[in-house]
Structure 1
Amino acid sequence: MKVHNYLEIEAIEDIPGVLRRVVIGADDGAPTFVMRVFEVKPGNSTPFHSHSWEHEVFVLSGKGIVKGEAEEKSIDEGVVVFIAPDEEHCFTNTSSDVLRFICVIPLPDTVTPQP
């Protein structure tokens, strides 16, 4: 078992205005999934992108929108989001507070490509 505060993990800002922490992953012995915490600063967003794996998101705090190929939905504290494999998407902070969410993805070696 591993228990720690997510703030003990160094935040990476490889996208301007978006902090990312890998709070549980392969280095922790997780065989299947990676749990990440994102903090999107006010007025910023993740890039519009897609990839071959699904992910699940739980919004911890803040307000924003999640944009897909065909629609855009408001998100705030307590909202859950499922992003299907190969679905284009991005998260945008529309508030004056940080948009903070948990994002769970499969480890790359566990992904089976979709037909």
Structure 2
Amino acid sequence: MIHRELASVPSAAQKAGQGVSMQMLLSLQDVPNFAMRCFTIEAGGHMPHHTNTVEHEQFVLSGRAKVRVGDESFEAKAGDILYIPTNVAHSYETIGDEAYRFLCLVPQGEDCITMMGC
């Protein structure tokens, strides 16, 4: 059994992008199947186009962002659910003056990230 308060989980700035931070809510050392992370992209921030070797399940908590997944672009907002398949390029760019915040679950397995060109 694990019980934590979100405020007690440290936030780590991410090297890729601008204004991006991540809280590791449940790591794969804590639980056997899925890590749970909370990403925040500050207003005016972005996460660059990249691929991952594991799928992503995401739930948007707040804010809005232009999300690019493969050849599609759309606006994601609070309450939206996203699925990013393995090895499909994706990126995020905030819209408006509110931070874009989302939960991101990833399965057990090595996650290799590859940055893509524009």
Please give the TM-score of this superposition, normalised by the length of structure 1.
0.88
SS at match of 1:27: coil
SS at match of 2:7: helix
Counterpart residue number, 2:108:
107
User: What value does the CA root-mean-square deviation take over the aligned residues?
Assistant: 1.5
Counterpart residue number, 1:113:
none
- 1:14-93 matched pairs, under 5 angstroms: 14-15=14-15, 16-28=18-30, 30-93=31-94
Please, which runs of 5 or more residues in structure 2 have no aligned partner?
A: 111-118
CA distance in 2, matches of 1:63, 1:88: 19
Counterpart residue number, 2:3:
3
Give the structure with the higher percent helix: 1
Shift of 1:6: 1.6
Shift of 1:86: 0.7
Between the two proteins, the alignment pairs up a number of residues equal to 109
Shift of 1:27: 3.1
Give the structure with the higher percent strand: 2
Shift of 1:71: 1.1
The letter of the residue matching 1:9 is V
Please, which runs of 5 or more residues in structure 1 have no aligned partner?
A: 110-115
SS at match of 1:7: helix
Shift of 1:45: 1.0
Shift of 1:20: 0.2
Shift of 1:91: 1.6
Please give the TM-score of this superposition, normalised by the length of structure 2.
0.86
State, as a whole percentage, how many aligned pairs show the same letter.
27
* Structure 1 residue ranges, 4+ long, deviating more than 6 angstroms after superposition: none
CA distance in 2, matches of 1:7, 1:66: 27
